[in-house]
Structures are given as structure tokens and as C-alpha cells.
């Protein structure tokens, strides 16, 4: 690990001042990703601004019925919170399927949003990676691609976003609240992460001097009937091959409300708008669920070793919706 100077910020204003004045500085939350990347010298900040002491650790109801989650809330505390477990069970489940209990006790909500890909070529300094070194090429393409993208990839990058939490947040129409010395900005979760295109080193729409201070969940009754299903190579403590965050409400046998997002398939949590369009108003049957999955996955393109993920995603979507229909919510 390269040497760096360390600053601990005790209020948001001080953190924002520090990030706007210190060159090559980074905010540090729980450290579960950044410390690892610094040890591998993939990240080499000159200054670390520790933000874990900022007063952003609350989860509270919003006047309009939504919920505000402070950016420094630990992943484990988010998953265990009553409001989340009962009103947004897919979010609790998503967080609980991510990492290990120890890591969830450290990792913050803000840090989870900003974690970087687990593509092995990104971690391997000897490999070509456009995300790590723009213009260098991509050794993942044609390499070991079991964990790589099937949607929204480019010729420059086929990495996936590793978060489970973010998949649920995308399905729930969450909003990311970001602050800088210039003021407060609200970013829809579905616009927070970006697809790689020609610039896979750019992963979010957050500016370098902006601090995520909160995530807000809207009042969303359909979310009470929701679930997160993760398919992976081990039963626990592994990244998703494919995951599905789904919320479903039916009325008179037809889908009256639905939210659907996929994980493990793209460089961003993949909100399945195409599938939602097929589902809404249609009979709540396997046939509809299959049609919806097909619509979403029509543009899917496999890499050399992950063609199975297209069919896996299709089955996971159908199975998750079917279970919500027949067994109801995880809550």
C-alpha cells in the first residue's frame, strides 16, 4: 500500500471542504473495498478522508411515507431495521445475501453504492484493463467470463457491478442524495451508475468532490410484497451469477403493480423496464412472466463462457415472480 495522509472529518461541511481542496483525495467508509484496492495499489490516493464519524447513521421515516437512510448506516443495520424488513423486504434480503456478516458490519450504504467491480482482470495488475488503465485493452474479453456482463457491455469492458443492495435500490426507485461545496443534488438510483461505453473508468454520475449523504426510498406499497433471489456458485458468501429483485401486486388475476431489477448481468444494477412493461396489466401467469423475461433479455449478448447466464436470468425472473405470486413476500 502506498503511503497517504489521513484526515478524519467530523461534520459534512469539513468533509466537503477537504475533498475540494486536497488533491487526489478519497473518502473512506467501512474500507471493505477501498482498503483492499489500496493494498493492491489499484487505488493510490494521497489523502484519505475518513467519513465514518459523520452524523449520517440514521434511518428515519420521511413525511411523505418514504424512508431516508443515512450514507454511513452499516449494511447490517440497514438489513435488520424494522422499517426495511417490513416495507421493503427485498432490500433487507439483498443486503443479507451480500458479502459476510463481518463485512456487512463494516460496510456503509454510501460505500456499497461506490464499490468497484470484482472482475479479476481489474484486480490483476498484469492484465490489460480499460477500467484500471484507460486505453490499455480488456483481457476479460475472450478470457474467463463466467461472472461477466450479458447486458449493456461494450468492446471496452464487460465487467459487472458486484452490489446486491444496489439492485434492490434500482427496483425500488430510490434516490441518492449527494452534497458538495456547490450544494445538494438528488440522483435517481437508475441514473447513478453508468454503462461502460468507451469510458469504463467512469462508473457513476457522482462528481469527484461530491459526497453521498443519504439514500431515500419512496413510499411504495408494492414493495411490501417483494423478494430478492440470488443465484451463485456457493450457497453463501459469493457474488451473484444472476440476481433478481422483484415486487409484485395483482388484482383480479392481473399484474397491478410491479418492480423488477437484475444483478450480476451488467456494469450497473439493471432495472428491467422492458419486462415491467410486458407485466403491467397482463394476467399474472407463468406465460406472462416468461414473455416479460424474454423481452428484457432479447438484447442480451453472451461472452465466451457465460451464455448460460441468459437462460439462468430468464429462469430466475420467472421463478422469483412465481414465488411472489404463490407464496407472497419474504416479510
Partner 1 sequence: MVEIRMRVNGVMEALDLEPRVSLLDALREHLGLTGTKKGCDQGACGACTVLVDGERINSCLALAVQYDGREITTIEGVGDGERAHPLQSAFVRHDGFQCGYCTSGQICSAIGMLAEHGSGAPSAVTEHLSADTIELSDAEIRERMSGNLCRCGAYNGIVGAIREAASGEAGRDVMEAVR
Residues that bind partner 1 (CB under 8 A): 1, 3-6, 8, 28, 30-32, 35-36, 38-39, 48, 50, 52, 76, 79-80, 82, 85-86, 89, 92-93, 96-97, 99-103, 105-106, 235-237, 330-331
Minimum distance from residue 266 beta carbon to partner 1 (Å): 23
Paired residues of 68 in beta bridges = 60, 216
Distance CA 270, CA 260 (A): 9
How is the beta sheet containing 59-61 ordered, strand by strand? 59-61, 67-70, 211-217, 175-180, 183-188
Minimum distance from residue 331 beta carbon to partner 1 (Å): 5
CB nearer to partner 1: pick between 83 and 302: 83
> Quick one: cell of 7?
484526515
CB nearer to partner 1: pick between 48 and 69: 48
CB nearer to partner 1: pick between 147 and 190: 147
CB nearer to partner 1: pick between 101 and 208: 101
Instruction: Give Cβ neighbours of residue 275 (< 8 Å, ≥ 6 apart).
Output: 260, 292, 293, 295, 296, 317
CB nearer to partner 1: pick between 89 and 269: 89
Minimum distance from residue 67 beta carbon to partner 1 (Å): 15
Apex CA 296: angle with CA 292 and CA 302, to 5°? 135
Distance CA 212, CA 251 (A): 38
Minimum distance from residue 199 beta carbon to partner 1 (Å): 28
Minimum distance from residue 23 beta carbon to partner 1 (Å): 17
Paired residues of 167 in beta bridges = none
Amino acid at each position: 500500500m502506498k503511503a497517504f495522509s489521513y484526515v478524519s472529518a467530523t461534520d459534512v461541511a469539513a468533509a466537503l471542504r477537504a475533498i475540494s481542496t486536497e488533491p487526489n483525495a478519497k473518502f473512506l467508509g467501512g474500507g471493505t473495498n477501498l482498503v483492499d484496492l489500496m493494498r493492491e495499489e489499484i487505488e493510490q490516493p494521497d489523502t484519505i478522508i475518513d467519513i465514518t464519524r459523520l452524523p449520517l447513521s440514521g434511518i428515519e421515516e420521511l413525511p411523505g411515507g418514504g424512508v431516508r437512510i443515512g450514507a454511513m448506516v452499516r449494511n447490517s443495520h440497514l438489513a435488520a431495521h424494522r422499517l426495511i424488513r417490513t416495507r421493503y423486504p427485498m432490500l433487507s434480503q439483498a443486503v443479507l445475501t451480500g458479502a459476510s456478516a463481518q463485512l456487512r458490519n463494516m460496510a456503509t450504504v454510501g460505500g456499497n453504492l461506490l464499490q468497484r467491480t470484482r472482475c479479476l482482470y481489474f484486480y490483476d495488475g498484469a492484465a490489460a484493463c480499460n477500467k484500471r488503465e484507460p486505453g490499455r485493452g480488456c483481457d476479460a474479453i475472450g478470457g474467463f467470463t463466467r461472472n461477466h456482463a450479458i447486458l449493456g457491455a461494450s468492446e471496452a469492458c464487460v465487467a459487472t457491478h458486484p452490489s446486491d443492495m444496489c439492485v434492490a435500490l434500482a427496483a425500488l426507485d430510490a434516490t441518492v442524495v449527494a452534497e458538495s461545496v456547490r450544494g445538494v443534488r438528488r440522483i435517481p438510483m437508475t441514473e447513478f451508475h453508468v454503462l461502460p461505453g468507451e469510458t469504463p473508468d467512469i462508473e457513476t454520475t457522482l462528481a469527484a468532490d461530491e459526497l453521498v449523504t443519504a439514500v431515500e426510498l419512496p413510499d411504495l406499497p408494492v414493495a411490501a410484497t417483494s423478494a430478492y433471489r440470488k443465484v451463485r456458485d456457493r450457497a453463501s458468501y459469493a457474488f451473484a451469477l444472476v440476481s433478481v429483485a422483484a415486487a409484485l401486486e395483482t388484482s383480479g388475476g392481473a399484474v397491478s403493480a410491479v418492480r423488477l431489477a437484475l444483478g450480476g448481468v451488467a456494469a450497473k444494477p439493471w432495472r428491467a423496464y422492458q419486462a415491467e412493461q410486458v407485466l403491467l396489466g397482463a394476467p399474472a401467469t407463468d406465460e406472462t412472466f416468461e414473455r416479460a423475461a424474454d423481452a428484457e433479455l432479447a438484447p442480451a449478448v453472451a461472452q465466451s463462457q457465460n451464455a448460460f447466464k441468459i437462460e439462468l436470468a430468464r429462469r430466475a425472473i420467472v421463478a422469483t415472480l412465481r414465488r411472489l405470486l404463490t407464496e407472497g413476500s419474504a416479510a
